[in-house]
Structures are given as C-alpha cells and as structure tokens.
Structure 1
Amino acid sequence: MDSQSVMLASLPIHSPSWQLDTLNVPSPTQAIDVIVCVHNALADVQRCLASIKAYSTTPYRLILVDDGSATETRDFLAQYAQTESVTLLRNEQARGYTCAANQGLQASQNPYCLLLNSDTIVSHYWLERLIACANSAPEIGLAGPLSNTASWQSIPAIECKGDWAENPLPVDMNVQQFAHRVASLSPRLYPRIAFLNGFCLLIKRAVLEQIGYFDEATFGQGYGEENDYCIRARQAGWELAIADDVYIYHAQSKSYSHERRKQLADRAGQALAEKHGQAVIDAGVTICRQDKVIEGIRIRAKQLIARWNLVAEGQYRWRGKRVIFMLPVQEAGGGSNVVISEVRAMRRMGVDAVILNFLHHQKTFEKSYPQLDVPVIYTPTDFEIPRYCEGYDAVIATASYSIQWIAPVANLPNPPIIGYYVQDFEPYFWAEKPTYYRWFWRSPWVRRRLASYYFRRYPEFRRAWLSYLEIPNAKLFTKTPWNQDELHYQVGKTSHVVGASYHADLFIPRVSRPENPQRLRISAMIRPSSGRRGALRTMQVLQKIQQAYSQQVEILLFGVANDDPHFQALPRNFDHQNLGLQTPEQLATLFAQIDIFVDFSNFQAMGLTAMEAMASGVAVIVPQIGGSNSFAVHQRNALVIDTMDMTNCYNTLQQLIIDNALRVSLMKQAMQDIARFYPEKSAYQILEVLFNKSS
C-alpha cells in the first residue's frame, strides 16, 4: 500500500487549562473595527456597550450606526459618542439593518471589521480569540463565536420544539462565568461551517475587497443578508469558521416583535432561494446539521455545568488534600492514561495530586507523554518510596507489583490512607491458556475452582492474587462493577466502583469525515505479547475483511512496533499500515480520522480505548465479557459481541462495513453517551472513597 494514501493529517492538540488567566490568549497587533447597529431597545444597547468597554483589550475602533432610533436611544448614543470618542453615524429614518450594516462597513478602515448586534454581551478576550481563529488559516475569511441563541452556533442545543433553541444561562451563573468555562474546555478546533449567524460576524478586509458589501437590494430590511454573504464568500473561495473558545450572549433583539421577526425571516428565506437556488441552501444546511466536529462541541457543552459543579464541590470538600499515585510505568497505556486524567481532574479540585514513578523510567515515560501537564516525582529505587510519600494524606497503588512497595508506608507512625486502584483483575494476566476457552470466562465458578491450581503453578498469578490482601486496611476501588464482582467472588474483598472514565478533553471529534466515505478506515490495537488481547484472532479477521473488501476499506493498526517479534509472528500478508506505539495525542489524531474500531480481546475490565474511539465519533465493536457494558449498549452505541468466536467477529465487522445506517447511528449515539464519562466523576468518587467512605 502507498503509505501516502493513508497518511493521517497532523492535527493541533490543545489541552484546556481551566485557569482564570490569560493562558492561550493571543495578542493581536492589528486593530479591528467593531460596528454596532442600533434601533431602539436602549437597555440592551447599554449592556452591550458596557461589556465592549469592559472586556475589549485589543486595539479597536467602535462604530455606532443609529438607524432611526427614538429620542431616548438617540440622545444616549449622542452623549456616549462624545464621552467615549467613538464614531457615530445617524439615520433620521430607519433604513433597515442591512443598509445600516453597510454604512458601518463602508466607514471601516482596519484589517478586520466585526458586526455586533446591540443585544449582545461580550466576554473576556473575545476580540483576541476571534482574530486568532480568523488568522489560524489563510483561507478563513469570516469567523463567529458560540452563543446561547445563534442558530448553528448555539450551545448546547440548536433546536427546541421546532424552533431555534434559546439556551438560557443557569440561574446561578452570569455570562462571564459561563464564557470562561467554555474557553477553558475549548480544544480550539475552529470548525468550518457553511453559514455564520450575523449577530457577531468578523470579516477580513480582503473579503470585503473581493466580494463587496451586503445585498441591500434583496435583503434591505435585514434577515437573510448574512446567509447571502456567507454563500458569496464561500463561492469566492473563502472558508467560514467558528471560534469555539468564544461565547457571546445574545438576548434576541427587542427591536422587532416575534411576529415581525418571523415575517422577515420567511421573506428572506424565499429571496435567498430565488437568488442562489434551494439546492445550495440545502447543501449548506446539511453541513451545519451533520458536521461531526460542531456536534461534538455541542455535546461537550451539555456536560459543561455538571463538570464544573463537581470541580467546585471537590474544591469545597477536599481542597488542600495531598494524594500521590504510585505509577511505575514507562510507555503510555490505558491504565496510566486513566490515572493521569484523574490526577489532572483532582488538581482542578484544588487537591495536590501527583504521580510517583521510577527515575530509570523517566526518559521513556516523558517520551510517551510529551505534553504531560501534571507533576511527576521520580524515585531512584523502591526503597525510597516511603520517604517520598511522607506528608501525603493518601498513597495509592495502581498495579499489583506496586502494592508491596508502598506497604511499608502503612507502618509509619502516622500513616496516610492507603488506596489500591484495581483497574483489572491481574491474576488473570498470568493464566493465559484458559482465556482461549469461552467457558472459562463465562463461569466465575469455574475460574474460582481453577484458582488454586494457578495459585500453585504460577508465581506471578500468586503474587497478583495476594496483592489484594497485602495491606488489610487498604481502600480498594475499581472502574467497573465487573471488576468489583471479580474481587469479591474470587478473593472475598470489598471494593468501591468509581466509574468508567476517559480523557474527555482530548478524545473528541476533530475532523468531519463524511458519513459514507468512499473507503472506510478500520483500526485495531494489536498487543501480541498479551494472549487475552486476541492479537492473532484480530489479525486473522482483518486479513479476511481486507481480502473481501479491498476496495472499500483501509486497515490501520497501532499498539506494537513493526519489529516486535510477537508482531512479526502474526499473519501480516494483507494490505495494512501499522502506526506503532501511539502517544495519547497521536491516538486522538488517529481516532478523529477513522470510522470503525474493533476490540476483539477475550475480555476487557473496562475498555478505555473503545471509549476513546466512541468519544471521537467512531463505531466500535467490544467484547461482551468484562466491564464494557458499563458504557457500551449493544445496537445503541456499540456492537457488544462474543469476541472469542472468530466467525462472529468477522460477521459483525462485515455488518458495520455494509450497513451504513447502523454505522452512522452507532457513531452519533456513541458521541452522546460517552460524553457523560468525564474524569471529574471518577476523580470525585476516588476522593470520596479515600476521605469519606469506610472500607
């Protein structure tokens, strides 16, 4: 296969800061003209102008166009223009929004001009961020923000009962607070769109010079003029982008009544169709409605308040607590990814959460996590671990082989709370042979009866089993009920379920692939060193699929180096590309550009990689044995199957290839459902287990 044909685009990865500061706020050097057209509604105008003055730091010139306002508003604007040294244009008779907007645009001279409705409230760094969006690519000519009510730019909903959604702010939150939360969680994807709402529209000077101004003859009264302008701009080769780190509140103008607004909108829609053809409009609407990146932004916005509420409550309950996770790993992996994302969430809650690793792991670990934003302490030996744990309120083991290293900590004079994060039932790692037989995994009774045999035969099995008993008063917690049940049934230990989670700020839709592409991209993680991961079965199924659908699919593998002897021993004589070991950022880039992810493991204690794929808008197949049912629902958001039947694996993957409707349905529902498993939930539950629940 020509490697260029499947080369994945390099997407910028931005990590949200969650900080009330100027991090990631650019400093434009070029000025902008802000044009506000006014027709009465004085209270709205006053709020709008006050917010512009308070939250605009970029060099800007304010142009006010008074379009025939009555005495009260007219006099206020005249006084304001004198006091604030702004440009004021006045029409004694109202000419309509389109004409007024053109007056402002014609008076504009700066490299950027921005039309802003007089019923808006802007937020911190709005101009800087809008300009940064417009400058992020030379082909972007127009840019606009997110809002509560701005048609396709609305968050979290765009429609309500057959009309545009209004999305009122929470009663206990103001515009600036909500805008900060939006900016803090923004990945700055700047998604492209076909239509931008005119309530806040940034236009580059080059666009004005090329396509001119709004069409006064056709849309003189307003409504429709911005859609026409967007169509003309796109036809001229320009792109339209949403600045997804900017939120501006839109009150819905009081200048027109609801009835009058509807009349103008209906008339404008008819005029737009007559000018450009309904097909052009419908194609643009389809882009706006089906774009995966924009939908992902809306979905994340639905969880915005809940996430911040958990952070606030965590700050109230546990701010100042100190927690250290013993994470003795070198390369990126599912378990360490989970720990890192939850450490990050704890730090948002004001908890001094850190990672403890070995010094001889540092180079490889930092290569695996090149953008790590949580503190890591490196100890030279395991004997030094107790010393590094001094002063912490809780010390947490994250693997069976690390519990013995922190056991001496429990014997200190004033010992911290000892936690054990059980993300898998590790004795099964050392009982590989039975995992090939379905009856072994379907019967906990059989597994329990065989445990004594493995306990005697495999030292590693025995060591992992005894780890759960190493520290009697340790607080054990798991990701899924399946793992909790295994601990209880096999070992007799009680544990707490803290819930499935993933890095919700990294794994998101990043590009908008068509719902029915010419060639489907299918991906799988190959871990041949671990028999339970079904590497041989996975490669055999993918080989058959590629041979049967060679013109319809591309196979992209990851998780193992090409020169790994275990990988070399697998069947590889089919068209595929192996991307090797992936950092979390690389994996997020990959998942943004594939259609199907398959996990043909024998079982999964949780199934993090499938969660990450689902959050990225990918259709997945996961094993029915294990904890995947914590988030995967068969035929709703995933296909949950008996993965130890190779024929079943092949038939299920084949179904996803040929059934476009099913695949698209799973993709869309997966994005909606997985967004609820953000790391703040699990981090909060861990802190609850450590500091508030008895074992």
Structure 2
Amino acid sequence: MAKVPSVIFVLPVKGSSGGANSVVQEALGLSELGVRCVVAVDAKNWGSFIDNYPELMGKAVALRSYDSPKALAELMKDCDVAIATTNVSVTEVSTALETLSPQERAALKLAYYVQDYEPLFYHPESEGWRIAHASYGALKDATFFAKTKWLCDIVYLNHGIKVRKVTPSIDHGIYYPDLSLEKDYICVGAMLRVRTARRAPQRTARILQILRDTVPQKIMFQVFGSSSEELESAGIATSDGILNRGRLKRTEVPAFMRACDLFLDLSDFQAFGRTGLEAMASGCIPLVPALGGTDEYAVHGRNALVVDTRSDRDILKAIEMFLDLPDRERRTMQQAALETAANFSIRKAALSELRLFQEMCWQNA
C-alpha cells in the first residue's frame, strides 16, 4: 500500500484570521487521520501565533519556527508536500526552494491553499497589489486549491490557473448552540475590525447606530473585534446602547455568537465567510455579503440573510424583515442554519485535502 503523504503548511502570520483558523484546524484534522503534518511559522510571528493557538501545543501537529529561507527549506524537504497559504507565504516558499538541491526540489510537491483573492486587499496597481497578483505565478508546477467555487473561478478568470475545490470546515468542538437559552429580547451582534478595511467597520458602525436609534428597546447590540481605543482612533463612535466586547480570542468568539440571534457581517465581500457559518453553528442567523463565496452555505430567507452590503437600504430592509418575523419562523431559520452548519466538519475538510495530496504524490509514481 502506498504511504500517506506528509505535509507542511507554511503560515507566516500572527493567527486568529479566518484563513489561519482554517489551516490550523485542518492541520489538526489531518494529523488525527494519521498524516504527519507540520505548521511552519516565521520567527517574527511565532509568539503571537502561539498565543492565538495554545491548543496546538502537545498535539500531533508539529509546530515549527523558521528564521531564514534555509531553515524553512530544511523543514520543507522533510515532507512530501509543501503548501503556501498567503502571498507572503508563496514568496517565502519560493525563496526557500532556491536553497534546495535539484534532487531535493524534484522530490517535493508544491501546493497553494488559496484562502482569499488577495489582490482585492490593495488599491489596483499599488505595490501590494502587484506582489499579490504576481504570487499566483510564482510557484511553478504547484497545485492550487481553495474552499469555494468563487475563489476557484476568480483565480482562473484573472490568471488562467485551474484551482481544485476542497471542503470548507468549522470547528464544532467550540461552535455549538445553547437551545435552552431563554431571553425576552433579541440580540444583534457584529464584528467591528478597524484594522481590516474590507470588513467595512465604518459601514457596520453606521448601520448599528441607525438600528440603535430606530428599533424597539427590546433589542440588545454587541460588537467585537477592536478595542475602544482602536475605535476612537479610527473615528468610530458607538453609543452607550452598543456593548463593545473588544478583541476576542478565537475561543471566546463562540460564546459571543451563542448570545446573538442575528450576526451582521457587512464586509465588502467574503471569499467564504467563515464567521457567518460559525454563527449558524452557534444557533445565530448571519447577515452576509452577496459578493463572494457565501453561497456555499447561505440561502437568503432560509438559513441566513444575503444582501448587497454596498446598499444601506438593502441591509436595513433585510434586518427589519428578520426582526418582524414571528418567533416560530425565527426558530425555523435557526434550525435550518444548524442543519447547514452540521455539513461542514473538520473531518470532511481533512479528508478532501488528503485525497488531493494523495493524487499529487501518486501521480506518475
């Protein structure tokens, strides 16, 4: 029987983002299947990464730090498949490859786990845009994979590269509902992340303030993602009626979601929209942007609210519709959301990735 391939995810980030969460939990899922799995983090981000994912310590996943291209290359050559995860990661993998011998390079399969379409993070033709745009052609003979059809399509349309689709995942070990929770009010939650412009913090704050000023008193509002000081520095003011939970650790977000009935993700777009699906798994109905890959799970009026987030009118209309629903209909949406979220597990995602890695390694073997 052919051996199970070993893999290394190159993840030079601080952690806590949706993409990093995907890589970490799926690395854990692969290791539980018996795959030897390494997560490599650059020395600059090591401390922050460990703080964000203390659960990795003592697990089967090998967590490793590197401080140079040669150090990363040493980690990579000990695995069958090396996987880049961001445009920065692509650059670091490409540079590390230059330090390997031709034989070592030939023995290593390359992949790029596309978490988002990163040119959209920058102004067109800016330096950041050029680097992100060029990253899709930097790893020759690499296999590309992503978790939504939208990502597969946008990379193909802009670069002519075929991207394999794998199954998305959420961590049901921490995202689950509390159906026994009873309260005489509706709780509306949102993420206010001022350091990420595409998450539309100004728009989110504006919509929350409109709601706070116009809806009945039996609505509670809460937000997370930024400290009060960060909000103030960004010129965002929230009224006393909007509770700011500040920056939350990954393991603290589920309790926030369980307390909410409606969660607002008013981002410009979402490549997948993990937070929306995590809200569903927590028994909360998400409002998500129509642009992007949220159609992997969100069906407007059935298990979610899907709107053009560029329109305040459309956002407010959808929220008003939800708030006006009888309790029984909101419960029906909640049940549908829970059933949808149950289809996205770490085990399914890990198996879909393992199938891809096996095909890569067994081809021409």
How many angstroms apart in 2 are the aligned matches of 1:567 and 1:682?
Answer: 39
- What RMSD over aligned residues (CA atoms) do the two structures have, in Å? 2.0
CA 1:560 to 1:375, structure 2 compared with 1: closer, same or farther past 3 Å? Answer: farther
Q: Residue 430 in 1 paired to residue 138 in 2? A: no
Partner of 1:343: 27
Partner of 1:162: none
TM-score normalised per structure 2: 0.91
Q: Residue 667 in 1 paired to residue 334 in 2? A: yes
Partner of 2:220: 554
| One-letter amino acid of the counterpart of residue 88, structure 2 | Y
* SS of equivalent residue, structure 2 residue 252: helix
**1:682 shift after superposition:** 2.0
Q: Are the counterparts in 2 of residues 619 and 664 from structure 1 also a CA contact under 8 Å? A: no
Q: Residue 583 in 1 paired to residue 249 in 2? A: yes
Q: Residue 621 in 1 paired to residue 287 in 2? A: yes
Q: Are the counterparts in 2 of residues 386 and 409 from structure 1 also a CA contact under 8 Å? A: yes
| One-letter amino acid of the counterpart of residue 332, structure 1 | S
* SS of equivalent residue, structure 2 residue 266: coil
| One-letter amino acid of the counterpart of residue 168, structure 2 | A
Q: Are the counterparts in 1 of residues 118 and 132 from structure 2 also a CA contact under 8 Å? A: yes
Q: How does 1:59-74 map to 2 (within 5 A)?
A: none
How many angstroms apart in 2 are the aligned matches of 1:533 and 1:523?
Answer: 14
* SS of equivalent residue, structure 1 residue 501: coil
Q: Are the counterparts in 2 of residues 621 and 639 from structure 1 also a CA contact under 8 Å? A: yes
1:552-571: per-residue Cα shift (whole Å, max 9, x none)?
11111111222216764123
Q: Are the counterparts in 2 of residues 536 and 571 from structure 1 also a CA contact under 8 Å? A: no
Q: How does 1:372-387 map to 2 (within 5 A)?
A: 372=56, 373=59, 374-387=61-74
Identical residues among aligned pairs (%): 28
How many angstroms apart in 2 are the aligned matches of 1:474 and 1:464?
Answer: 16
CA 1:603 to 1:376, structure 2 compared with 1: closer, same or farther past 3 Å? Answer: same
1:600 paired residue among 255, 266, 273: 266
Q: How does 1:54-203 map to 2 (within 5 A)?
A: none
| One-letter amino acid of the counterpart of residue 414, structure 1 | E
1:11-51: per-residue Cα shift (whole Å, max 9, x none)?
xxxxxxxxxxxxxxxxxxxxxxxxxxxxxxxxxxxxxxxxx
Q: Are the counterparts in 1 of residues 70 and 96 from structure 2 also a CA contact under 8 Å? A: no
* SS of equivalent residue, structure 2 residue 111: strand
Partner of 1:364: 48
Q: Residue 482 in 1 paired to residue 150 in 2? A: yes
Partner of 1:396: 83
Q: Residue 414 in 1 paired to residue 98 in 2? A: no
> Greater Rg, structure 1 or structure 2?
1
1:566-623: per-residue Cα shift (whole Å, max 9, x none)?
7641232352122122222101122122211111111100000011110111111111
How many angstroms apart in 2 are the aligned matches of 1:526 and 1:545?
Answer: 15
Q: Are the counterparts in 2 of residues 410 and 471 from structure 1 also a CA contact under 8 Å? A: no
| One-letter amino acid of the counterpart of residue 504, structure 1 | H
Partner of 1:333: 17
Q: Are the counterparts in 2 of residues 534 and 601 from structure 1 also a CA contact under 8 Å? A: yes
How many angstroms apart in 2 are the aligned matches of 1:518 and 1:685?
Answer: 43
How many angstroms apart in 2 are the aligned matches of 1:634 and 1:649?
Answer: 12
Q: Are the counterparts in 2 of residues 318 and 351 from structure 1 also a CA contact under 8 Å? A: no
2:354 paired residue among 687, 691, 695: 687
* SS of equivalent residue, structure 1 residue 527: coil
Choose between structure 1 and 2 for higher RCO, CA contacts under 8 A separated by at least 6 residues.
2
How many angstroms apart in 2 are the aligned matches of 1:680 and 1:561?
Answer: 35
CA 1:559 to 1:691, structure 2 compared with 1: closer, same or farther past 3 Å? Answer: same
How many angstroms apart in 1 are the aligned matches of 2:226 and 2:70?
Answer: 32
1:494 paired residue among 149, 162, 177: 162
| One-letter amino acid of the counterpart of residue 368, structure 1 | N
Q: Are the counterparts in 1 of residues 228 and 246 from structure 2 also a CA contact under 8 Å? A: yes
1:526 paired residue among 192, 200, 205: 192
How many angstroms apart in 1 are the aligned matches of 2:291 and 2:225?
Answer: 22
Partner of 1:537: 203
**1:678 shift after superposition:** 0.7
Q: Are the counterparts in 2 of residues 383 and 405 from structure 1 also a CA contact under 8 Å? A: no
* SS of equivalent residue, structure 1 residue 505: coil
Q: Are the counterparts in 1 of residues 194 and 234 from structure 2 also a CA contact under 8 Å? A: no
* SS of equivalent residue, structure 1 residue 585: coil
CA 1:474 to 1:341, structure 2 compared with 1: closer, same or farther past 3 Å? Answer: same
Number of equivalenced pairs? 353
Q: Are the counterparts in 2 of residues 356 and 377 from structure 1 also a CA contact under 8 Å? A: yes
| One-letter amino acid of the counterpart of residue 688, structure 1 | R
| One-letter amino acid of the counterpart of residue 680, structure 1 | R
TM-score normalised per structure 1: 0.49
CA 1:561 to 1:383, structure 2 compared with 1: closer, same or farther past 3 Å? Answer: farther
Q: Are the counterparts in 2 of residues 529 and 566 from structure 1 also a CA contact under 8 Å? A: no
How many angstroms apart in 1 are the aligned matches of 2:70 and 2:115?
Answer: 25
Q: Are the counterparts in 1 of residues 185 and 220 from structure 2 also a CA contact under 8 Å? A: yes
Q: Which runs of 5+ in 1 are unaligned?
A: 1-315, 432-453
